[in-house]
Amino acid sequence: MEKRTQRDRLRRALTAVERVVPWVALVAAPLGLFLLLRSQREAIETLDSIGWDAIAPSALAFMLAPLLQGVSFWIVLRLFTGRTSLLDAMVVWSRSYVVRYVPTGTLAVAYRVSARRRLGASADQVLAGFTYEHVGVLVAAAAACLALFALAGDLPPFLPLAIALATLLLAAALRPGIAGRGVEALARRLGHQLTLILDGRQLAAVVAVNVLGWLGTGAAVYLLVTTVTGSAPPFLWLAGTYTAGYLVGFVAPLSPGGLGVREGMLVMLLAPHYGMGVAIAIPIAIRLVNIAGELLAVALVHAVYVVHTASTRVRRIAAEVESTAAAEPAL
């Protein structure tokens, strides 16, 4: 009886938290973005010398990677639930994606869990979807980093190389036939579902979707660097350098969006080629345009959602009017 009472209290507490989380996210996300943009004054000054003819297409190109990341989240949930809709998954993902700029990023996880009914998924499935989404992003960055440097005839710096190799080994080990069995056994002991392990082909599909995002990211970075420096650097080397900085920023703890860590790594890699002044200007300019691209991606998702909701409502009202008219007796 006491255990049942404790479970009821815990359930009520979790319900109360779920009601509060969306409102906290609504306040915290703009605040986090405001503080982030406030810290990027140098980037704003740098953008004055770049021009909208480079900023606008770069921001549009930066939209591709986050949108594909949202699609990968939907793919994982769809594999788990068999019913999660793409639009609902993208809306939930986009809101949590903005919230990730709040320090530690835990609020993004809490928001997704609070939206599990909308996703038609359990809390375990949402958490697994969040995890696999980010594993897919990290593995895609690792693969892109190694491939780009290899095509450029070079090796990544030691730290990004170590992160990339460790990431690929971890992804290989997580397959059900290897370490995945141990994960399943641990999940069984903790009372979680065993269907939350993706097989190798499913994980490869999630990674492949995110790899495509690097096409847009590489193009955006190349355009911005070419505009800032006035010269055209080797595309493969430049894109590989950005993936190296991305990897280091991705695994940095307590750094929302890799803020600061990614830029520091890029400065170290770019300074020998462009000098310290230009090497500092490039990453902060890239960061600000990248944020603009991410916000455009979120805005696009919500615009599609608004249009879809409005058209669905109009069709429903039209169907009700037609049904009422058909039911009325003819005069």
Neighbour tally for 134: CB within 10 Å:
16
Average pLDDT over residues 215-220: 96
* Contact of 258 with 16, CB cutoff 8 Å: no
For residue 240, the surrounding DSSP H or E stretch is helix 235-251
- What's the one-letter identity of residue 98? V
Closest CA to 89 of 24, 133, 137, 32: 133
* pLDDT at residue 26, rounded to an integer: 45
**How far apart are alpha carbons 283 and 280 in whole angstroms?**
6
Alpha helices in 100-192 (DSSP H): 106-114, 116-119, 123-151, 158-173, 179-190
* Residue 167, token pair as written in the block: 């990431």
**How far apart are alpha carbons 239 and 70 in whole angstroms?**
22
Closest CA to 70 of 91, 43, 47, 46: 91
* pLDDT at residue 245, rounded to an integer: 94
- What's the one-letter identity of residue 205? A
Residue 78: partners with Cβ closer than 8 Å, 6 or more residues away: 84, 89
* Contact of 298 with 306, CB cutoff 8 Å: no
Q: Considering the chain, what is the average pLDDT of its residues?
A: 82
Task: Encode pLDDT of 225-256 as tens digits.
Answer: 999 888 888 999 999 999 999 999 998 876 77
Q: Is the pLDDT of residue 181 over 90?
A: no
**How far apart are alpha carbons 328 and 6 in whole angstroms?**
56
Q: Is the pLDDT of residue 147 over 90?
A: yes
The pLDDT-based confidence of 323 (bands split at 50, 70, 90) is: confident
String of b and e for 16-42 (b: at least 16 CB within 10 Å)? eebeebeebbeebbeebbeebeeebee
Residue 314: partners with Cβ closer than 8 Å, 6 or more residues away: none
Q: Hey, where are the domains in the chain?
A: 53-85+119-327
* pLDDT at residue 49, rounded to an integer: 67
Q: In this predicted model, which residue has the larger pLDDT, 62 or 278?
A: 62
**How far apart are alpha carbons 243 and 237 in whole angstroms?**
10
* pLDDT at residue 192, rounded to an integer: 54
The pLDDT-based confidence of 124 (bands split at 50, 70, 90) is: confident
